[in-house]
Structure 1
Amino acid sequence: MKHLLFTICIFAYSFTTSTAQVDTINTSNGKLNLAALQEGKRTYAVFFEDSLTGNRLTTADLWDRTIRFSTTPTGQKTYQFGWKWYQKDSLLADVTATGILSSLAPLTHNATYTKRGIRNFVFNGTTVTIPPASRRTARDSAFNVVMNPPAFEFPMDLEILPLLPFKKVGQEFAIAFYEPGSPASDYYRLTVTGREDLVMGGNAKINCWLLTIDYGQSDAHATFWISDQNREVVKMREYFRGRYRYKVKLY
């Protein structure tokens, strides 16, 4: 009997220890390294390859992404996020979002998509609604989502993931994201899977953390190369339905 109790205790301790290794991160617990968030513009080339042959499947789109800081008349420090998605000579998406700088909690999300139209949302704490001026249907008026967990805006993943508190290979995080317009926020599991020197143009090497995200689907996952010095995503490779999507920082 004593042996059985001892075994149960050891199992419970091991389970608790392994669970505690996952660092839960959301907009309310202040665990991101916000000092690493820098103002500026970054441009990424985005393209697809066949996962088996390595053949390029598309020409590259361009993503221009910007971060700016400002202060409201009441003294609150905020950020403004911008994302412009170009395909050849066309602007496919133009997204602007704002939020509270001290937590990265979102405040507004305004987006214009060539195929999806205008999608605007406003955040009041953890409650998400469509602003009155943007309501076109009864469904728009009824839209009301309470983010549980309190979450970061998913379109800002390239800017937010580099702010994780990297310490060692093997770290695990659960980070809360919300895709504006979706019915709920959720945690996504991330693992620091390695470190390596990524060779860039001119044989320059950038020491990077390798961060893998689990999207909760068996056929969808991605790895981010995040520079240790500048804390920015310099490369991403995402697998989905037999294809790789790459995002590569140009400048």
Structure 2
Amino acid sequence: MRFSTEDGQKRMQIRQRYDTAASAASLKTVSSWFDAGTLRPRTHERVAEKDGKRVVEGFVFAPDKITGMQGLAESINKDLVVDSPEPTFNFETDIETLQALPLADGYEARINFYHPGGQQGPARYLFKVTGSASIPGPGGMIDCWVVTTDYNRPGYVSTFWFAKGSQLMLRQDSPLGEGKVVVKTLID
């Protein structure tokens, strides 16, 4: 995470890197800029490399639409225009957004998310604190908020565990169908 000032406004950058070596080696890097105080997305750049092929994408978030980033030389989606009836959050930084919420017993939030470049436009997703649980961590058991969502796909409930002390996401379990589950964990 990095902070800077642009036009007198504080901005925050989140960088992500995904390395995969499962069936075929791939690398995805993401750079997202936000308004520092609100997490309102400004821009999103994604570069994916797999099997010698490189795909560059760039997006600009405005309060009423998401467009392709015209100034990003190799971007494949410069002509993208997705209308949004209300400002939307960047789905590729959903965990960072969820970690900033005031989680508590019974808390619920309907968040308007858009996955940059996705075929589905912006949509609201319901995230609920459904209880508490302790899960093992490197120093012992960690007390967590348990948060669930179905990502608007009834029957496919994803579960998240956020540490109560830090609000860091420690684990996510998301069903893919056919008995498959994606598990993300924070490694300390």
TM bucket, shorter chain: 0.7 to 0.9
Task: Give the number of the structure whose residues are more often strand, by fraction.
Answer: 2
Q: Which has the larger radius of gyration?
A: 1
Secondary structure of the structure 1 residue equivalent to 2:113: strand
Whole-Å Cα distance in 1 between the matches of residues 98 and 20 of structure 2? 25
Relative to its length, the structure with more helix (as a share) is: 1
Query: In the comparison of the two structures, how many residue pairs are matched?
Result: 181
Does the aligned pair in 2 maintain the 1:147–1:178 contact within 8 Å? Answer: no
Contact 2:173–2:182 (Cα < 8 Å) also in 1: yes
**Aligned counterpart, 1:79:** 12
Q: CA deviation at 1:77?
A: 0.5
Q: What is the match of residue 55 of structure 2?
A: 117
**1:91, CA displacement in angstroms?**
4.8
- For structure 1, the residue ranges without an aligned partner over 5 or more in a row are 1-66
Superposition RMSD on alpha carbons, in Å?
2.3
1:172: how far off?
A: 2.3
Match of 1:94 among 15, 26, 29: 29
Deviations 1:153-176 (A, max 9, x none): 1111121112222221x3322111
**TM-score (normalizing by structure 1):** 0.66
Q: Deviations over 1:35-61 (max 9, x none)?
A: xxxxxxxxxxxxxxxxxxxxxxxxxxx
In the alignment, which residue of structure 2 is the partner of 1:54? Answer: none
Q: 1:198 and 1:141, CA in 2 relative to 1: closer, same or farther beyond 3 A? A: closer
Matches within 5 A, 1:137-216: 140-168=77-105, 170-182=106-118, 183-202=120-139, 204-216=140-152
Does 1:236 find its partner at 2:172? yes
Which is bigger in relative contact order (C-alpha 8 A, separation at least 6)?
1
% identical equivalent positions: 29
Does the CA contact (< 8 Å) of 1:81 and 1:96 recur in 2? yes
Secondary structure at the residue paired with 1:132? coil
Q: Select 1:129's aligned residue among 50, 59, 67.
A: 67
Q: 1:141 to 1:249 in 2, by over 3 A?
A: closer
TM-score (norm 2): 0.86
